[in-house]
Every structure is written in structure tokens, then in C-alpha cells.
Amino acid sequence: MRVTVTDAELITDVAGLQALAPEWDELAVAASNPVAAPAWALSWWRHVAAPEFQPRVVAVRERGVLIGVAAFYLTQGRGGIREARLMGSDFGVCMEPLALGAREWDLAEGIGRVLAGSRPRPDVVAFGPMALASHWATALRMQWPGPLLGVSRQYRVEGAPVIVLREPSFDAWFATLSAKLRHSLRRGERAFAEAGGTTRWSTRATLRADAEAFADLHAARWKDRGWSRLADLGERLPDWLEELGSSLIDSGRFRMCVLEVAGSPVCVDFGLLAGRELAAVNSGWDERYAKLAPAKLAVLRVVQGAYERGCERVHLGVGEKANKLRLANGNDPVAWTIFMPPSSRLPRTYGGALPALLRRRASDAAERALPADKLEALRRLRG
């Protein structure tokens, strides 16, 4: 039987978010949702969010217990269209509102009621990248208060490889890989060792230096390859990573793997852990050491660390790149969806959103049709 949630609160200031953070973090761990934790949202807010953004975070309780958090912010797009988006959702990580159990439909009632009553009210609620199987957009459309239904449009779908840790140990998982891949990885391990390579995990003492190393490696890798959202942050990137890591690293939930040759970082890979899931966020590596395949070796260490921490899944992020697919044993596709609530502004909102939706669909069609080399050339040109 569905229980209607009636206790939903709108938080519009950082002090309120900080007060909510302890309960919020416990819920993220219980739900095994690393990027829905307050550390990600609050550090993003301080170091990435634009000054004009406005917090619109909905906290939902049942009998006084926090059971859901929708960490939106409000921004104004073209033509004065007001958009509610999830904090930190534009960095290739799979994000959705945080819910305890399969309670999306119950929580959507409270979230919709609070957002509908907020001022200014959003013209668009944007989700993505969010699991394709998620019910959030549909639930919010159906549970939005009032007799009329809004408009929901899905405009992009992309694969998201995952490694499900079904086997009892890292060695047993490694044995499930193809013989060719195992041979390649062992050869890479030998070459790395012969080059004097070593591996370590960031600690509180090394966090700042490792964050700077990641920023430098990532920026260098993307210098002639187009545009990167992370690289575009410039000097803000290590500040963000340092704050994000400082609140999680002592508990082992901020996982930064550093591969070094002769004492210098050649690859830095970082991710976040909560409950039974580890989300691999991104990596940076030195192309001068491409023959050592440091990014592949880093993923092996991440998976081994996930086993040691008792995880059941490693989410490799959005995008079906060959290096991910070789190691993955599952795929949880993600989608980008917008919901436009019913209002007198709906025709104007839909008219303003339609050109961007059509462009995105055309771009997706081109990506599916073009060969890999042509697609890479197009991305370089676009960048």
C-alpha cells in the first residue's frame, strides 16, 4: 500500500544544507548512492556553482525520519526559462534524487508539492544523466499537484558500463575476463613494474598534492582533444577535490588511486564510495606512458579496492568507451529527461526548449551513425 508523504521541506540556504548533512549522508550510505551524498553537492556548490544559482533542496520525512533528498538548484536559461537541476549533475556521473528504498512515487508527491509552491517556481525540472530505468521523471509528472499534466521529454540515451562483483574475490573476477585481456593486463603490470612503477592511495596528508596532480594530468590530456567540464574549472578543480576528499577520505569513501613512475604521478583515478557501490568519477594520465596502459591498471586497483571495502558494484561512469566495455560485465544505460510542469508559461517553455531538444537528437543520431574515427574527428572540431 502506498503511503502518501506529507512532511516535505524546502531548503534555500547553505546553512540549512549543512544542518541537514549528517542525516543526508546516512541516507546516501543506506541507499548506496555515492554522488547523492552531501559532500559532493556542498563542495560542488562552494567551488563550481555560479553565483546566480539558487539552492532548491527538498528534504522529505516520514514520521520524522529522513527518507529522501532532492538536491536541486534553480538557474535561469534562455528566454527567462527557470530550470531546476540536480547539484553536480554535469560531470558524467549518474545522478538522481536520493530515496530510501523504492519510494520514488511517494517522494515525488512531496517534491512536486514543494517545488510547485516555491517562488519563483521552476518552468523545467531537468534530470540527467539518470538511470534509464528510473521512474523519477514519470513519477514527478504524475504526482505534480493539480488536475493538469505537464510535459515530459527524454532527449538523450547513453550507455553506462558497470562491473558487478558477483565473484567471491578479485582474483576470481579477474579470471572471468577474456584470455586476451588478461594477457594484455599482465603484460602491462610487468612493464609498469620494470619501469619502477608504484601505486598508492591518497591520504589526508597527500590529498592536496594528489588533487593538483589529477588536475594537471587531466588538463594536459584534454588540451588538444576538445572540451572537458573538469578541465574547464582550472584552478577551482583541485580546491573542489580537496574539500570533497577531506570530508570522506578518513572513512575510505573518497578513493584516489595514484600510479607513479620514479616518484612522479603518471595516472590519478578518483571515485566515491557509499554503501555497496563505488562510483568511478574520472581519471587523468600522462600520454607519454601510454605503453604502460596506466588507466587500465588503475581500474584494476579500483576494483580490487572495491572488493576489499565490501562493494557489490563499480559504476564506470557515462559513456561506452572501449576501455570500459572490456572490463564491464553489465550496462545500466542513462537518459537525460526534462519535465515541464503545467502552467500558463508552458507553451513558451516548450517552444524555448524544442530547438535544443531537436539539436540533441540530431547529434545522438550522428553519433550512432558515424564510425569511431569520424566521430572523434567531429568532437575535436566541435571542441
**DSSP notation for 91-152:** SS-----EESSS-HHHHHHHHHHHHHHSSSPPSEEEEEEEETT--HHHHHHHHSSSSS--EE
Whether residue 2 has pLDDT greater than 70: no
Q: What is the pLDDT of residue 279?
A: 97
List pLDDT tens digits, range 99-152: 988 889 989 999 999 999 999 999 999 999 999 999 999 999 999 999 999 999
**Is 162-316 a domain of CATH 3.40.50.970?**
no
Numbered ranges of CATH 3.40.630.30 in the chain:
7-159+333-382, 162-316
pLDDT at 103: 87
**Percent of residues, the chain, with pLDDT higher than 70:** 91
Assign domain 7-159+333-382 to a CATH class: alpha beta
Are the beta carbons of 123 and 115 closer than 8 angstroms?
A: no
User: Across the strands, what pairs with 254?
Assistant: 272
Identify residue 28 by its one-letter amino acid code: A
Q: What is the pLDDT of residues 281-320, one digit of tens each?
A: 999 999 999 999 999 999 999 999 999 999 999 999 998 9
pTM of the predicted model, to two decimals? 0.89
Question: Given pLDDT bands bounded at 50, 70 and 90, which one contains residue 89?
Answer: very high
Instruction: Check residue 198 and report its DSSP letter.
Output: E
